[in-house]
Amino acid sequence: MNNFDFKNPTKIIFGKDTIKNLENEIPKDAKVLLLYGGGSIKKNGIYEQVKSALAKVDVVEFGGIPANPEYAVLLEALAIIKKENITYLLAVGGGSVIDGTKFLASAALYEGETPWDILSQHIRTEKGMPFGTVLTLPATGSEMNSGAVITRAETKEKLAMGGPGLFPEFSILDPQVIASIPKRQLANGLADAFTHVLEQYMTYPVEALLQDRFAESILQTLIEVAPKVLKDPTDYKASANFMWSCTMALNGLIQKGVPTDWAVHAMGHELTALFGIDHARTLAIITASHYTYNFETKKEKLAQYGERVWQITEGTLEEKAHAAIVKTEAFFKGLDIDTKLSDYTDDYEGTAEEIAKRFTNRGWVALGEHQSLSPDKVQEIVKMAY
Ligand code: NZQ
Ligand code: ZN
């Protein structure tokens, strides 16, 4: 097992009818900016619950943060933070609203001229404006981690940021919010969380027995609850397990002491930036190609995953590892998620070259758990995913 530090300061308030607890979490003297997305919270009753919990606090609102939170829109919110002397941010939404809020928490205290530098120059946020979240869509784990991914339409970029100053102070997770989520977004959440676990697991063995079993148990739970949640998102038991699995998949715990990959996400973000494909779907496009291309370095963990998660007992290590890739792709397809780029766009020629070029320009020349994934390899993998 590798050495590690672990600190996660986010308070989780989990369960039925917990949104009202907001009242106890936000400082009474705060001036709050309530941030939300395209308006789903106004249709499903979450907005009313939040507003009544905030009745005694001074609140300004900013709605309209789009999926794949857009820099230009966030700059409008930043202007409000400055004009209204906001002291506390509250995100009510999925990963996009929470990530947008993290950007604002950082940008509000940033002293440089252009907040985009935080993303383009990888400026780590040591201190941000304090914020909390009410999660409305289980998927990203953003409610309990310190990362964010921001899109800039103008330049077709989608870049990550983060730092210890960007953990939410608290996150409220009421699984009842899942009842109103459309099937497409439920499938996205399942696929995203599943891939988060894979990125931190599908590398090479380091005798981290507990981390491996944490990861496998999250995968097994997602596989078990996926059909139930998709069939009936009002099934509280399934929804609660789905929600907590998504949080645990990316709150830092399972990656401690083990190598991590994250190349599927790096390639996937480019597909969102170039084509606007939903985040989770970009991961489903890349995963099988990535594992097939890197088969030799990943086959031990692929076989272990095949045995323990998919109960593949027959065959050699290589055969089990191959069967595990097939099972993974079938899992995505079972969620009604297409796994080839050409399923999403006819305009895919040249994509692999473009992504390889972008990685080269950014100096991303050594991705993956062995820091061996160079842009020419990325190009091959993306091509295999056409
Ligand atoms: O905008 P509204 O109207 O609220 O609708 C949203 C949006 O259209 C809707 N929705 C959310 N909760 C709902 C609901 N509809 C009905 N009922 C509810 N309870 O769902 C749509 C998608 O929301 P979004 O927040 O975009 O989805 P998700 O949570 O999947 O977030 C995706 C974003 O997170 C980033 C992705 O790159 C993408 O930009 N990620 C963030 C990560 C992190 N911070 O750790 C890690 C991930 O790997 C990922 O990159
Ligand atoms: Zn993801």
- Tell me the per-residue pLDDT of 57-76, one tens digit each, with 9 for 90 and over: 999 999 999 999 999 999 99
CA of 140 to the centre of ligand 2 (A): 6
Residue where a domain stops, chosen among 141, 176, 211: 176
Model pLDDT, residue 31 = 98
- pLDDT, averaged across the chain: 97
**Tens of pLDDT along 284-339?**
999 999 999 999 999 999 999 999 999 999 999 999 999 999 999 999 999 999 99
Model pLDDT, residue 262 = 98
Q: Do residue 256 and residue 337 come from a single domain? A: yes
Average pLDDT over residues 193-207: 98
Residue 367 in any domain: the answer is: yes
User: Which helix (H) or strand (E) element contains residue 74?
Assistant: helix 71-83
Model pLDDT, residue 160 = 96
The C-alpha atoms of residue 335 and residue 333 are separated, in whole angstroms, by: 5
Q: How far is CA 50 from the centre of its chain?
A: 24
Range of the domain at 271: 182-384
Model pLDDT, residue 29 = 95
* Per-residue confidence band for 200, with pLDDT thresholds at 50, 70 and 90: very high
CA of 177 to the centre of ligand 1 (A): 13
CATH number at residue 292: 1.20.1090.10
The C-alpha atoms of residue 315 and residue 331 are separated, in whole angstroms, by: 21
The C-alpha atoms of residue 273 and residue 151 are separated, in whole angstroms, by: 7
The C-alpha atoms of residue 143 and residue 212 are separated, in whole angstroms, by: 23
Residue 168 CB–ligand 1 contact under 6 Å: no
Residue 183 carries which DSSP code?
A: H
Provide the residues around ligand 2 (an ion) whose CB is within 5 A. 192
- From residue 178, how far is each of 6, 50, 138, 365 by CA, in Å? 30, 16, 8, 40
Q: Do residue 251 and residue 165 come from a single domain? A: no
CA of 247 to the centre of ligand 1 (A): 13
Residue 200 CB–ligand 1 contact under 6 Å: no
Q: What percent of the chain has pLDDT over 90?
A: 100
Q: Which protein residue's CA is at the shortest distance from atom 14 of ligand 1?
A: 181
Q: Do residue 200 and residue 89 come from a single domain? A: no
Q: Do residue 228 and residue 169 come from a single domain? A: no
Residue 119 in any domain: the answer is: yes
Q: Do residue 141 and residue 15 come from a single domain? A: yes
* Per-residue confidence band for 140, with pLDDT thresholds at 50, 70 and 90: very high
Q: Do residue 123 and residue 237 come from a single domain? A: no
Model pLDDT, residue 383 = 98
Say if CB 36 and CB 77 are below 8 A apart: no
Instruction: Give just the sign of the alpha carbon dihedral 11, 173, 253, 163.
Output: negative
